[in-house]
C-alpha cells in the first residue's frame, strides 16, 4: 500500500481531514519564511487532533539545536525532517542529540544529486526526494509545486526507506509511482487552493487516489 504524508498543515480542519482520510504522516513546517509556518504551541494543539497511529513530522530548515529543542519542548513530534543544506555530519548530530528518527530531504535536478543523496543514507532514517527549488533568492526549499525527472531515481536500491515529493497531484501520482517506484508520497502544494491554504477536498482525493494505486 502506498503511504501518504500531508505536509504543511496549519489548521484543525486540515489536520482532521488528513487524519480522517487515512494519512500515514502529517507534517508541520517550522520555517518562518514559509506560508505554511506554524509555531510550537500551534503544532502542539494540532498534534493532539491525530491518533498515535499517525506519525507527526516537524520540518526544519538549517535550524540550530536551540530552535529544534524549543519546538520539541512543546510539540510531540515523531520525526524530524531536515529540508535545508544540512551536512551528513549535522544530520547525524541532530539524530543523536534529539533521539528521534530523521528524514533528510534531498533536492534533485540531476545525477550528481543522486550521488549526494547516497552520503546521507547512513546518517538518516529516511530520505525524501524533492525537486530542486528555483534559483531565486526568495525561493523556498520545498513546497514549490515543481516536478523533477522521476527517471533519475528509478531503479535505485536504497538502504533506507524513501518518500517522493515535488509537484505531486491526484492527476500525476500514478505515473510518478510507476516511473520512480515510490511507495511513499509527500504532498503539500498539490492539495492547496493557494500557498499555505489547504483544500480539504483535495486532501481526501489525493489520499484516495494513492490508496487506489
Interval 90-144: pLDDT, tens: 999 999 999 999 999 999 999 999 999 999 999 999 999 999 875 555 655 656 6
pTM for this model (two decimals): 0.94
Active site residues: 7, 130
Residue that the C-alpha cell 499555505 belongs to: 196
Q: Look up the CATH number of the domain holding residue 96.
A: 3.20.20.70
CA 6 to chain centre: 8
Q: How many domains does the chain have?
A: 1
Q: Which of 38, 48, 99 is nearest to 69 (CA)?
A: 99
Interval 47-98: pLDDT, tens: 999 999 999 999 999 999 999 999 999 999 999 999 999 999 999 999 999 9
DSSP string for residues in 159-192: SS-EEE-SS--TTTHHHHHHHH--SEEEESGGGE
Residue 26 backbone phi and psi in degrees, to 5? -120, 140
Domain around 21: 3-211
Distance (Å, rounded) from C-alpha 6 to C-alpha 131?
17
Amino acid at each position: 500500500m502506498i503511504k501518504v504524508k500531508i505536509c504543511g498543515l496549519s489548521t484543525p480542519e486540515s489536520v482532521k481531514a488528513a487524519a480522517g482520510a487515512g494519512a500515514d504522516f502529517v507534517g508541520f513546517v517550522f520555517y518562518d519564511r514559509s506560508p505554511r509556518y506554524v509555531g510550537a504551541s500551534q503544532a502542539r494543539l494540532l498534534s493532539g487532533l491525530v491518533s498515535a497511529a499517525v506519525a507527526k513530522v516537524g520540518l526544519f530548515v538549517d535550524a540550530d539545536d536551540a530552535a529544534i529543542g524549543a519546538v520539541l519542548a512543546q510539540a510531540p513530534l515523531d520525526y524530524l525532517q531536515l529540508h535545508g543544506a544540512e551536512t551528513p555530519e549535522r544530520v547525524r548530530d541532530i539524530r543523536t542529540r534529539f533521539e528521534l528518527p530523521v528524514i533528510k530531504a534531498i533536492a534533485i535536478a540531476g545525477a550528481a544529486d543522486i550521488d549526494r543523496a547516497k552520503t546521507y543514507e547512513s546518517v538518516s532514517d529516511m530520505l525524501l526526494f524533492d525537486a530542486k527549488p528555483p534559483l531565486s533568492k526568495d525561493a523556498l526549499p520545498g513546497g514549490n509545486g515543481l516536478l523533477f525527472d522521476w527517471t533519475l531515481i528509478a531503479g535505485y536500491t536504497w538502504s533506507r526507506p524513501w518518500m517522493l515529493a515535488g509537484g505531486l497531484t491526484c492527476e500525476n501520482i500514478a505515473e510518478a509511482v510507476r516511473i520512480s517506484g515510490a511507495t511513499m508520497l509527500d504532498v503539500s502544494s498539490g492539495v492547496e487552493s493557494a500557498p499555505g491554504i489547504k483544500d480539504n477536498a483535495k486532501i481526501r482525493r489525493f489520499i484516495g487516489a494513492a490508496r487506489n494505486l
